[in-house]
Structure 1
Amino acid sequence: MTRYIGIAMLIIGVGLLVYSSTFDPFTDKNGFYEKMESVMGEESRSQKFHEIRDSYLTPKFDLEDYGLICVILGLYTLVLLPKKWQHFKTPKNKAVIILIGALAVLLTIGGYVGDLFLEMTRDRYPPWADSLVIPLMAVPMLFLIFSGWFAINLIGLKNPFNTSVSIMELDIKSINYWYLALVILTIILTLIMIYEGDFWLTAAGVMWVYFYIILLLGQQKKKIKNHPKIKTTRFH
């Protein structure tokens, strides 16, 4: 079932990307630049710039963004989920779990940087705005913050921690409410990013959700199965 969903999302995503290529970014690019130059001397020029830009935009960028979101979700579905979601299991190796968390950090930081450069090519920023150097200066600090957050959550890997746990073994009675809260909150934030068309943070958000679900399942108390006692017969 999950395979069909993943393939369907890929097809929809590629279709949206192909359809977006039939549009120009602006209905009248020359008119957009002319109006932009006409407000350069005004005090509220930045606000007017965004209003002018929005009035000239075609659906091209929105179609691209939602197309990429569908492609990302399709790939995640095919790569991370088995053919039936009931067969979903956490990784067998803790090193793999650490790599998943590290990938979530890199996707978050990479998405921040990628979005800055992408929006620059889309004429999102007015020509009189500060260069990208200023927002890029925040990258090292963001990297430290998210790396620190990642490191804090690695405490969850300390024993007792179970690997290769099935999603069907989710037990509310022994659930870790810290990771449950993180899963729910991150799902909500990721859904908001999907609605906003932010494919960068959608990719990062899904990876964070996957990371937290692994920790959530692994932190459950292992169930002790009661095996029937074997009766022994004494022979005299």
Structure 2
Amino acid sequence: MTKYIGIIILTIGIGLFAYSMTLDPFTDKDEFYEKMNSIMGEENNSQKFFELRESYLTPKFELENYGLVCIILGLYTLILIPKKWQDFKSPKYKGITILIGALAVLLTIGGYVGDLFLEMTRDSYPPWADSLGIPLMSVPGLLLIFSVWFAVNLIGLKKPFRTSVSITDFDLKSINYWYLTLIVLTTILTLILIYEGDFWWTAAGLMWIYFYLTLMLGRQKEKEKLMPTKPIRNAG
């Protein structure tokens, strides 16, 4: 069932993206550039640029974004989730969990950089604005922050930890509330990103959720295994 859902979402995404390729980005590109050049020396020209651009935009970029969001959701569903939801388990090896966390970091930073260059090609910035060099200067710092965050959360792989745990099997009574909080907050943020059509960080958000979920369930199940069972008292 999940495979069919993934195929449907992927097909919708490809359809939206393909249709967006047939559209022009602006209703009248030449007129847009002409008016843009005319306001270059005016006061508050950046604000006027954004208003001008918004008035000339077609649905092309919006459809492109939502198409890519659907493609990402479809691919994640097809790759990560087996045919039966009950068979959905965490990775068999700790190394794969580490790889998932590392991919989450790379997707987060890659999404930030990719979005900057994509929006530049979409004429989202006024031509008189500063170059991308300034926002790109923050990339090493962001990479360091997310790498440290990733490394800190790898503490969750220390014993007690179990691999190949069913994703659908958890008990709130013995759950790790630290990772549960991270999952809830990241899920809310990812849903907002999906709503806004931010395909870059949708991919990253889903990877972070899977990373946190693996750590949470791996620790929970092994702790449950190690917990002593209470003896059953005979009646009377």
TM-score, with normalisation over the residues of structure 1? 0.93
- Structure 1 stretches of 4+ with a deviation exceeding 6 A read none
Measure the CA separation in 2 of the matches of 1:20 and 1:121: 15
> Partner of 1:126 in structure 2?
126
- Equivalent residue of 2:89, what SS? coil
> Partner of 2:60 in structure 1?
60
> Partner of 2:103 in structure 1?
103
Q: Write out per-residue CA displacement over residues 43-77 of structure 1, whole angstroms, 9 at most, x where no aligned residue.
A: 21111100000000000000100000000000000
- Equivalent residue of 2:142, what SS? helix
Deviation, 1:222, is 2.7
Measure the CA separation in 2 of the matches of 1:87 and 1:182: 24
Query: RMSD across aligned C-alpha pairs, in angstroms?
Result: 1.2
Q: Write out per-residue CA displacement over residues 94-115 of structure 1, whole angstroms, 9 at most, x where no aligned residue.
A: 0000000000000000001100
Measure the CA separation in 2 of the matches of 1:57 and 1:168: 44
- Equivalent residue of 2:224, what SS? coil
> Partner of 2:152 in structure 1?
152
Gaps of 5+ in 1: 227-236
> Partner of 2:233 in structure 1?
none
Are the equivalent residues in 2 in contact too, given 1:162–1:219 (CA < 8 A)?
Answer: yes
Measure the CA separation in 1 of the matches of 2:97 and 2:224: 19
> Partner of 2:92 in structure 1?
92
Measure the CA separation in 2 of the matches of 1:49 and 1:217: 50
Q: Write out per-residue CA displacement over residues 2-49 of structure 1, whole angstroms, 9 at most, x where no aligned residue.
A: 100100011000100111112100000011111111211122111110
- The yes-or-no answer on 1:5 pairing with 2:24 is no
- My pick for the range that moved more, 161-170 or 52-61, is 161-170
> Partner of 2:31 in structure 1?
31
Measure the CA separation in 2 of the matches of 1:85 and 1:21: 35
Are the equivalent residues in 1 in contact too, given 2:88–2:166 (CA < 8 A)?
Answer: yes
Deviation, 1:140, is 0.3
Measure the CA separation in 1 of the matches of 2:61 and 2:2: 28
Percent same amino acid at aligned positions? 74
Length, aligned pairs only = 226
> Partner of 1:47 in structure 2?
47
Gaps of 5+ in 2: 230-236
Measure the CA separation in 1 of the matches of 2:219 and 2:192: 28
Matched ranges for 1:107-118 at <5 A:
107-118=107-118
> Partner of 1:15 in structure 2?
15
Measure the CA separation in 1 of the matches of 2:19 and 2:150: 38
Deviation, 1:225, is 9.9
- Equivalent residue of 1:219, what SS? helix
Deviation, 1:167, is 2.3
- Equivalent residue of 2:129, what SS? coil
Are the equivalent residues in 2 in contact too, given 1:162–1:222 (CA < 8 A)?
Answer: no
Measure the CA separation in 2 of the matches of 1:140 and 1:58: 35
Are the equivalent residues in 1 in contact too, given 2:66–2:197 (CA < 8 A)?
Answer: yes
What residue identity is the alignment partner of 1:84?
K
Measure the CA separation in 2 of the matches of 1:169 and 1:206: 19
- My pick for the range that moved more, 35-44 or 68-77, is 35-44
